[in-house]
Amino acid sequence: MADERIVVCPGSYDPVTNGHLDIIARASRVFDTVVVGVVGQAIRKSTSLFTPEERLGFLEDATDELANVRIEIFSDLLVEFARKQGATAIVKGLRAISDFEYEFEMNQLNRKLAPDIESVYVIASPDYSFLSSTGVKEMATFGADVSDLVPAPVAAALTDRVSRG
């Protein structure tokens, strides 16, 4: 397709939540191809619970039904990753006010680095606007049930991981 609209949805996805999946599914209905970019080397968050390969596996499993979605691990600059994928835009989910300040700053930086790549923001669904990977990990650590917040294999892996410390 000559004018195929490819977008990237970047994130740490440590692990993927139903909130992430909602954004990915909604993006997949608007754009031709969605490349979910899993951050391999996190700068913002120093330690991750799951390896990039595990995070990719959860995402592949959870997006299996979405034919125009694929998952990649990236460790370069986001705009470089987007360019390599042939993407014209970066899609980010926006939760309650907390995401805004960070996204505003990243938007200015990315715009300076790559004015040709647009950033598009998808507002979180009310059901998921307070859902974060960090929150889910905290809940699982204290034995709370996270089965309606993340896909089933993720809930099982979380229980397993936190029980082993």
**Interface stretch with ligand ADP, choices 29-37, 46-54, 60-68, 132-140 (CB under 6 A):** 132-140
Q: Tell me: does residue 15 bind ligand ADP (CB under 6 A).
A: no
**Interface stretch with ligand ADP, choices 15-23, 62-70, 106-114, 140-148 (CB under 6 A):** 15-23
Min separation Cβ 128 and ligand ADP, Å: 4
CA distances in angstroms from 13 to 20, 25, 105, listed in the order given: 8, 15, 20
Q: Tell me: does residue 36 bind ligand ADP (CB under 6 A).
A: no
What residue is closest to ligand ADP based on CB? Answer: 19
**Interface stretch with ligand ADP, choices 61-69, 128-136, 138-146, 155-163 (CB under 6 A):** 128-136
Whole-angstrom distance between the N-terminal and C-terminal Cα of the chain? 48
Distance (Å, whole) CA 36 – CA 41 = 15
Distance (Å, whole) CA 118 – CA 57 = 28
